Amino acid sequence: MTSASICWALRGGDTFNLPPVGRHGNLPLPIVLVTSAFGQTDLSWRGSAAVGRRRNKTLSSVFTEVAETQPLAVIWRGGRRKRRRKADWDECEEGGKIEASGVKGKVQKEFLSHVSSRRAPHSSSHINMKYILVTGGVISGIGKGIIASSVGTILKSCGLHVTAIKIDPYINIDAGTFSPYEHGEVYVLDDGGEVDLDLGNYERFLDIRLTKNNNLTTGKIYQSVINKERRGDYLGKTVQVVPHITDAIQEWVMTQAKISVDNDNMEPEVCVIELGGTVGDIESMPFVEAFRQFQFKVKRENFCNIHVSLIPQPNTTGEQKTKPTQNSVRELRGLGLCPDLIMCRCTTPLETSVKEKISMFCHVEPTQVICVPDVSSVYKVPLLLEDQGVVSYLCQRLSLPVEMRPTRMLTKWKEMADRSDRLLEHVSIALVGKYTKLSDSYTSVIKALEHSALAINHKLEVKYIDSADLETTTLQAEPVKYHEAWQKLCSSDGVLKKPFLGVCLGMQLAVCEFARNVLGWADANSTEFDPETEHPVVIDMPEHNPGQMGGTMRLGKRRTLFKSGTSVLRKLYGNVEYVEERHRHRFEVNPVLKHHFEEKGLQFTGQDVEGERMEIVELEEHCYFVGVQYHPEFTSRPIKPSPPYFGLLLAAAGKLQSYLTKGCRLSPRDTYSDCSGSSSPEVEISDLKFLTL
């Protein structure tokens, strides 16, 4: 708006020009100009961004239409006889009062009731969608997910709305039937999608809510194309990988990129796409070809490629080797994609000579070679990228509407990264599970524990215990392993009563143990393990279609109502009436036996909306004994820890009662910014200011 005027077109072609700057300096907001002859005029914008024209509409209808999309600054002008007079105008700050000169009576009320005063740096309609493709080379598991999440984080801190898509080249429709030993945990989304764990990284870093269509697999694409072929959509054409599969991939990405993932329901402006596997894999060839075509479809200024590669450093020589990266980039170029940024994963920072060598042989500037060494905390990765000019490069390369300002950036992430290095006190948590041999099987659980430990200023120590090692059969077969497992369990933090959190099956087993030891039902069990038990404490409560393995469980976000005002977990949630958390299970506590447990002190403090499913269980007269049927770890965020895990860490550190007594407040030294992950930039966080369009 520094060079373009905003005009009000009156009847007869007469115009009214607004000075572009005015007394408030550069105005980074759209403007609405109103006259008393509104119904007979056209609203038009002259400048770099055409918003459109609205003919013969009432003041109310136009304000309603415009306020839903963008306007935050308003200009009111009086009757037509005064139309050549300079207009008075006021910028509407966030949370401020809307003021306008010349607005009176009924029209004023209509005006004030329809114009939004919410601050928005710019409208997504002003810029084209920007796509950032993240590919990997040399080895899989190199950290593409963390890097993709970090790129999205630094762009979101600039006020941009960011979404993410993960592409997995396997033929499975989704991750629901995967063994945890194959791909780690199955991450569950609000809509019940069972997806790759990398989507958990996106949600945690960006504080967004994704859908199952943000995880694209070969199986989904082929299923979609085959279904179209069966319906006759291709009109008898021979269906091939090119163009039908590649076109379907591009359409999927372009459609999903526009789906809002923020709480403010704004359309994303940047889409970060992670292509799983490594360049050259036969499984990913259709996707690479699709993006080769895609870069020309959306134009160069709207697409860029970040390639993540490994810089090995053999212990024998201690020299950083660039040949694997050279070969990886050469293969990527041979497939039609040219990397704009090469992010080098290494154990130690890149030497200047190594960076220059990569620059020379990979045909990029030295500033386009980014060093991503191993760090003590993943919270440092966005800071590493920002320090090396990634934001500046992407803004220039993709023509993003932001410019650098010499102030601090990413304050929250710096605080978390600094705190993680300063922690002195330790808290020990025993994680008993079925798949503890691979830590990725419980990625979200570990992250939720880390978020909570960081919030209370403690360093987390997790002791993995295979649940099978605690069985008496292990005592007979491998007594050493049996005693080691129990020793780990006994060494976790707690004095006489161990703080306990049971999640999903963990809650079910806790109820079974209570039935055996307190109620005296020696054979109490789950029908999942013993269908013929006389005391079916846990039963199958179907909410699924039998006969199909994938997606057959109670999946996704469900509402849980608190039934007790004295519930510890309710207090940790902020004394709300209900919570909405994600589920993934088939079996539940038998509601018929509920009263037997509550008579002995095991209270079911949370139930579903119908009151048929037991969602939360708490033991009276215990420091912290909580079981939840849902998976709270899926909604934990670095600056907003999950309440059940937060309570567990507080109890383990001996701070729970103090926390509850103080009205659920931490001491000043234990607190840090609890701002939400909204896309709206915060003054103390953003290094960028918005350019007017």
Helix (H, G, I), strand (E, B) or coil at 220: helix
Q: Give residue 288's Cα distance to chain centre.
A: 25
How many angstroms separate the CA atoms of 651 and 569, rounded?
A: 12
Please give the angle made by the CA atoms of 184, 188 and 194, to the nearest 5 degrees.
75
DSSP-based three-state secondary structure for 484: helix
Beta strands in 459-601 (DSSP E): 459-466, 500-503, 525-526, 536-540, 554-562, 578-585, 587-589
Cα–Cα dist 635/200, whole Å: 9
Tell me the three state secondary structure of residue 14.
coil
Of 7, 504, 664, 675, which one is the catalytic site residue? 504
Alpha-helix runs per DSSP H in 99-216? 105-114, 144-156, 180-183, 198-206
CA 222/CA 286 separation, integer angstroms: 11
Which amino acid makes up residue 33?
A: L
Judge whether 443 and 450 are in contact, CB under 8 Å.
no
Between CA 307 and CA 338 the distance in angstroms is 9
Question: Distance between CA 605 and CA 515 in Å, rounded?
Answer: 18
Angle at which helix 380-387 crosses helix 411-422, to 10 degrees, equals 120
> What does the alpha-carbon distance between residue 692 and residue 305 come to, in Å, rounded to a whole number?
27
C-alpha dist (Å) from residue 192 to 101, 255, 557, 558: 51, 20, 7, 10
Strands 194-195 and 187-188 turn out to be antiparallel
Q: Token pair of 661, please?
A: 């007594």
Token pair in block for residue 271 = 């889409």
Contacts of 191-194 with CB under 8 Å at 24 or more apart are 191/556, 191/557, 192/551, 192/555, 192/556, 192/557, 193/555, 193/556, 194/550, 194/551, 194/555, 194/584
Q: Which long-range contacts (CB under 8 A, 24 or more apart) does 524-530 make?
A: 526/587, 527/587, 528/586, 528/587
What own/partner pairs with CB < 8 Å and gap ≥ 24 does 372-378 have?
372/143, 372/147, 372/308, 372/343, 372/344, 372/345, 372/346, 373/345, 373/346, 373/347, 373/348, 373/349, 374/346, 374/347, 376/420, 376/421, 377/416, 377/417, 377/420, 377/421, 378/146
E strands present in 425-524: 426-433, 459-466, 500-503
DSSP-derived 3-state class of residue 244: helix
Q: How many residues comprise the chain?
A: 693
Q: Give 689's strand partners.
A: 403
| Known catalytic membership, residue 633 | yes
User: What sign for the dihedral angle of Cα 261, 267, 272, 273?
Assistant: positive
Q: Is 504 a catalytic residue?
A: yes
**What are phi and psi for residue 628, nearest 5 degrees?**
-130, 140
Helix, coil or strand: residue 235: coil
Listed residue (298, 356, 358, 292) closest to 138, CA to CA: 358
The single residue of 386, 450, 588, 633 carrying the catalytic annotation is 633
69: its two tokens: 């999309």
Separation in Å, CA 32 to CA 20, 39, 70, 125:
14, 15, 10, 16
Residue 586: name the closest of 528, 664, 509, 652 by CA.
528
| Amino acid in the structure at residue 640 | K
Among all residues, which ones are annotated catalytic?
A: 504, 631, 633
